[in-house]
Every structure is written in structure tokens, then in C-alpha cells.
């Protein structure tokens, strides 16, 4: 009930809530509608309110909005319930609330006291005298094993007991019988660069050494990382090794020791070894057009697209490529693809100025992003947040995983070459809540531009 009451504005939780409420919403004054009032109720005004925060408060901004326009009723004051009212410091932005809330959760103070919460919920202060001393005692039906509903013969009492548990929840199983140790604070953060044609696999770096915070310390390498036979198409940093391949090639995860190559006269797809560059698999599957983009979400799946306007999905089975699905949605050539296994996303961009989000697991259409000002030339997906970056001409757009516009910038403003075109894009992802995260674009004028979302409101 607690989860459904918090997530009542989102399906399928709306239907769960309605079933628990007999088919209708609760009284408006009792509905979750304001963070301030919810905090006051749970912390001081209502001793019967024992709700705790659920994980969605730290990663899911969408549940604060009434995007489905449900009629949640009017309070006695006459105020119509709609989106959840956020604290002033969130500036009316649910994403900013989640970012700062997550930042607070990850701070040293919370880390230093997290074990105290574990003691209350899962630990030794859950039962017995320690629970009494901590004022952590609840109704006996809340505790696991205190009642066997299958042995209750009276149907009215049995239904009342089940309803009581369903509406008010149950105390978690006790996991620890001694005080939980305090979390060790490392004082070090992680830095990850990933996405698009210019991508980097996870690495761990002290935050103060992230390259874009110390541009003056950058020096050119004394020797080439790798001599490639043409224009660079992809760069991967793995452990202490930097890998690079030409255009019309993409490295195959998770070891990145093989690559997929396309663009041959016979329209074949070829898989080769990174060191030897010799093909170990050649597939002459008809493509019905020139391939312009390809991605490999994993070592068994290959996705291609191009002038045919369709997306072809292949599976590697016993050293052969077997076509798994064909996806239709664009009206002109598809110029770029991006895939994210963590969120099960595939995004395609086209010359028809459209970008489409696909479900990578079901291989099905999800939604189309708002039209762009020019053909879409580059894409990236943030592996941590699911945010999507699309580039069209000189414009950089950032979207949420659900297709909501987050930010837009024209990179030509203030540029020496206003006609430059964005060719590639990548996210930095230290912590998802870290305000130092940036988006980097590479353009036709040879300039790498670093953009950062303005969190000041």
C-alpha cells in the first residue's frame, strides 16, 4: 500500500492502488501530494504514519508528475491535486529533486549513519528490548510469523487480518542480531566515460583528475596509440589499454578484442580480430542498401541500418549471422544507432530528422522523439541514467529515457565556424547526481565542445 500510494500517478501502480481502495482514489487530503506535508506527517504530526522512503525517491523523477492526468480530487481547501509539490530547493524540477536527493543519500554524513537505520529495519533493534528503547515497536500483526492466516477459521476475521496486512505492510525479516558495522568511507569517486562513436569502458579515477576539470594539464602523447588505416571511427578505453578502429567498424563487447566491419563492395558484414585484423566470419546477407551505422549491444547481437530505412537485427549462432528481426519506422536513410544493454534501449537517428526509441529486449517500437532541425547525425545513451543525446546540425538535444526534452543547446553560438556540424557525442558519468557531469561533442571544424547542464535554475 505504501509503495502504491507514493507511485499512484504511474501505471501499473495506479491500478494496484485502486484495487486496494475498492476501485476509487482515497480522499484528496490523505493522498500523497506534497513532499513537505508528507515529511511533516511522518516525522511529527501523525504518530500512525510510519511510511519510509522507497527507492524511487532516489532515481525516478517521473513518479512525481501526473502525466496521465488522473482526477485525484480536491482537498478541503479547494486545491485540485495534480503533480506532487516539491520543496523550493528543487526549483519545481523533479529531476533536480532526484539529483539532490541522491546526492544527499551518498554524502558522508548519511554513509556514517546508515548502519543505524539498518539496525532499526533489519537488525537487532527490530525486536525485543532494543526495539522498545528505540521506540521501534509496531502492531503484532506487522511481524513475520506472528499470525497464521491459514489457520483463522472465521472468514470475517481472516479477511480483516489480510486487509490489515495489505494496507499497512509487514516488518521485514530480521537479518542481523548484532549492531551493524559502520560503512567505511573511501573518500574517492569514480569516473566513467561512455557512449556513442567516442566511448570509454568503465574505469576508476579520483574525481580531481578527471580530464575536463584540468584542461591545462593535458599534453599530447609522444607516440600514437594505434595507427589506423583511415579516419577513426571508435575509441574504447579498457583498463590500461586504449583501443581504436576505423570508420565502418565497431568493437564488440565485452572484451572488445573483435570488431564488426561493414561498407564493403559485396555488402557483407565481417567479424575480425582486433590484433590480427583478419576476418573470422563473413556474412553476405543481402542488405537492400548501403549500411551507414551498426552497433553491437553484446557479443551475440548485431544491429545494422542504412539507406534502406530499416533496422536489421542479427544473432550470431555457430559462426553464422541469423536475421532475427527487421524494424520499420523511418522514412529516409538511418545515419546513426546507439544501444544500451543496461536499460534495454536502442535509439536510431535518420536523415528524415527523426529519432526513434526501440525496446532492445522485445525489438519493438517504443516512441519517437520530437522532430529535429536537421538530419540526426550522432546519438549517445547514458549508461547510468538512461538519458539520450541526439545531435542534428549544430544542435545538441538531451532527452529522458521516456522521451521528455531535458535540455537543448546550439553549439554554433559563439563558434568560430557557425556552419560546423556535430559528428559524434559522448556522456561523462561520474555519479549520476554529480553536477560536474558533461556532454562532449566533436564537430566538423575539429573542435571538441564540452557542455554542462545549468543546475542553477
pLDDT for 217 equals 67
**Is the pLDDT score of 327 beyond 70?**
yes
The Cα diameter of the chain in Å comes to 83
3-state secondary structure of 35: helix
In this prediction, residue 402 has a pLDDT band, given cuts at 50, 70 and 90, of: very high
**Is the pLDDT score of 54 beyond 90?**
yes
Mean pLDDT of 104-127: 93
Pairwise CA distance, residues 21 & 65, whole Å: 21
Pairwise CA distance, residues 390 & 388, whole Å: 7
pLDDT for 37 equals 94
pLDDT for 456 equals 60
pLDDT for 258 equals 94
Residue 381: name the closest of 111, 104, 194, 207 by CA: 194
Q: What residues have CB less than 8 Å from 160, skipping those under 6 apart?
A: none
Residue that has been written with the C-alpha cell 480530487 in this structure: 73
Question: For residue range 198-230, what is the model confidence (pLDDT) as tens digits?
Answer: 333 333 344 444 444 555 666 777 788 788 888
- 230: cell is 583511415
Pairing of strands 439-443, 422-429: antiparallel
Which region among 68-72, 274-278, 397-401, 434-438 has the lowest average model confidence (pLDDT)?
Answer: 434-438
Strand order through the sheet with 405-410:
376-381, 388-392, 395-399, 405-410
Which region among 56-65, 220-229, 343-352 has the lowest average model confidence (pLDDT)?
Answer: 220-229
- 124: cell is 537487532
Q: What residues have CB less than 8 Å from 421, skipping those under 6 apart?
A: 377, 393, 394, 443, 444
Which region among 63-67, 315-319, 352-356 has the lowest average model confidence (pLDDT)?
Answer: 315-319
Pairwise CA distance, residues 200 & 424, whole Å: 13
Measured CA distances, 386 to 339, 399, 430 (Å)? 10, 9, 14
Mean pLDDT of 391-402: 95
Q: How many residues does the structure list for the chain?
A: 457
In this prediction, residue 322 has a pLDDT band, given cuts at 50, 70 and 90, of: very high
Mean pLDDT of 390-398: 96
For 119-248, strand residue ranges (E) read 192-194, 232-238, 241-246
Mean pLDDT of 86-111: 93
Q: What residues have CB less than 8 Å from 73, skipping those under 6 apart?
A: 25, 27, 28, 31, 80, 81
3-state secondary structure of 129: helix
pLDDT for 455 equals 63
Residue % of the chain over a pLDDT of 90: 62
Which region among 244-253, 275-284, 302-311 has the lowest average model confidence (pLDDT)?
Answer: 275-284
Mean pLDDT of 46-67: 91
For 258-344, strand residue ranges (E) read 258-261, 269-273, 279-283, 291-298, 301-306, 310-317, 320-328, 334-340
pLDDT for 186 equals 63
Measured CA distances, 143 to 18, 120, 138, 139, 150 (Å)? 26, 14, 8, 8, 16
In this prediction, residue 194 has a pLDDT band, given cuts at 50, 70 and 90, of: very low
**Is the pLDDT score of 311 beyond 80?**
yes
Average confidence score pLDDT of the chain: 88
**Degrees, nearest 5: CA angle 34-35-37:** 65
Mean pLDDT of 155-181: 88
3-state secondary structure of 157: helix
Higher-confidence residue of 48 and 350: namely 350
- Enumerate domains of the chain plus CATH numbers: 2-168 (1.10.1540.10), 192-451 (2.130.10.10)
pLDDT for 301 equals 96
Please, are residues 238 and 252 in contact by the beta-carbon 8 Å criterion? Answer: no
Residue 407: name the closest of 424, 390, 394, 429 by CA: 390
Mean pLDDT of 80-102: 95
Amino acid at each position: 500500500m505504501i509503495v502504491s500510494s507514493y507511485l499512484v500517478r504511474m501505471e501499473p501502480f495506479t491500478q494496484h492502488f485502486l484495487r486496494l481502495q475498492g476501485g476509487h482514489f482515497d480522499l484528496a487530503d490523505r493522498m500523497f501530494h506534497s513532499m513537505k506535508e508528507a515529511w511533516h506527517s511522518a516525522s511529527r504530526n501523525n504518530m500512525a504514519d510510519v511510511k519510509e522512503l522507497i527507492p524511487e525517491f532516489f532515481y525516478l523523477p517521473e513518479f512525481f508528475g501526473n502525466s496521465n492526468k488522473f482526477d485525484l480530487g480536491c482537498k478541503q481547501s479547494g486545491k485540485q491535486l495534480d503533480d506532487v509539490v516539491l520543496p523550493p530547493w528543487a526549483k519545481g524540477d523533479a529531476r533536480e529533486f532526484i539529483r539532490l536527493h541522491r546526492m544527499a543519500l551518498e554524502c558522508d554524513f548519511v554513509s556514517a549513519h546508515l548502519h543505524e537505520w539498518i539496525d532499526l529495519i533489519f537488525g537487532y533493534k527490530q525486536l525485543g528490548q532494543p526495539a522498545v528503547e528505540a521506540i521501534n515497536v509496531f502492531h503484532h500483526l506487522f511481524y513475520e510469523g506472528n499470525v497464521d492466516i491459514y489457520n483463522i477459521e472465521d472468514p470475517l476475521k481472516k479477511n480483516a487480518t489480510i486487509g490489515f496486512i495489505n494496507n499497512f505492510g509487514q516488518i521485514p525479516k530480521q537479518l542481523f542480531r548484532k549492531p551493524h558495522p559502520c560503512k567505511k568511507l573511501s573518500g574517492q569517486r569514480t569516473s566513467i566515460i561512455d557512449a556513442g562513436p567516442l566511448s570509454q569502458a568503465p574505469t576508476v579515477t579520483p574525481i580531481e583528475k578527471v580530464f575536463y576539470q584540468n584542461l591545462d594539464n593535458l599534453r599530447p602523447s609522444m607516440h600514437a596509440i594505434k595507427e589506423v588505416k583511415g579516419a577513426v571511427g571508435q575509441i574504447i578505453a579498457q583498463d590500461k589499454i586504449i583501443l581504436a578502429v576505423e570508420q565502418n567498424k565497431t568493437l564488440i563487447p565485452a572484451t572488445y578484442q573483435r570488431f564488426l566491419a561493414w561498407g564493403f563492395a559485396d555488402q557483407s558484414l565481417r567479424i575480425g580480430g582486433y590484433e590480427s585484423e583478419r576476418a573470422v566470419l563473413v556474412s553476405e546477407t543481402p542488405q537492400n542498401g548501403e549500411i551507414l551505422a551498426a552497433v553491437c549491444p553484446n557479443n551475440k547481437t548485431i544491429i545494422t541500418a542504412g539507406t534502406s530505412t530499416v533496422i536489421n537485427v542479427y544473432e550470431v549462432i555457430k559462426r553464422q549471422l541469423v536475421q532475427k528481426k527487421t524494424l520499420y519506422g523511418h522514412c529516409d536513410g538511418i545515419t546513426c544507432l546507439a544501444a544500451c544493454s543496461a536499460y534495454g534501449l536502442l535509439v536510431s537517428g535518420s536523415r528524415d530528422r527523426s529519432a526513434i526509441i526501440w525496446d532492445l529486449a522485445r525489438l519493438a517500437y517504443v516512441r519517437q522523439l520530437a522532430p529535429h532541425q536537421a538530419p540526426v547525425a550522432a546519438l549517445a545513451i547514458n549508461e547510468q541514467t538512461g538519458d539520450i543525446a541526439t545531435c542534428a546540425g549544430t544542435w545538441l538535444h538531451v532527452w529522458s529515457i521516456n522521451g521528455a526534452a531535458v535540455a537543448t543547446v546550439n553549439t554554433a553560438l559563439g563558434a568560430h565556424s557557425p556552419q560546423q556540424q556535430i559528428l559524434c557525442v559522448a556522456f561523462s558519468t561520474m555519479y549520476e547526481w554529480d553536477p560536474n557531469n558533461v556532454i562532449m561533442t566533436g564537430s566538423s571544424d575539429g573542435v571538441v565542445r564540452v557542455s554542462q547542464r545549468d543546475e542553477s535554475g
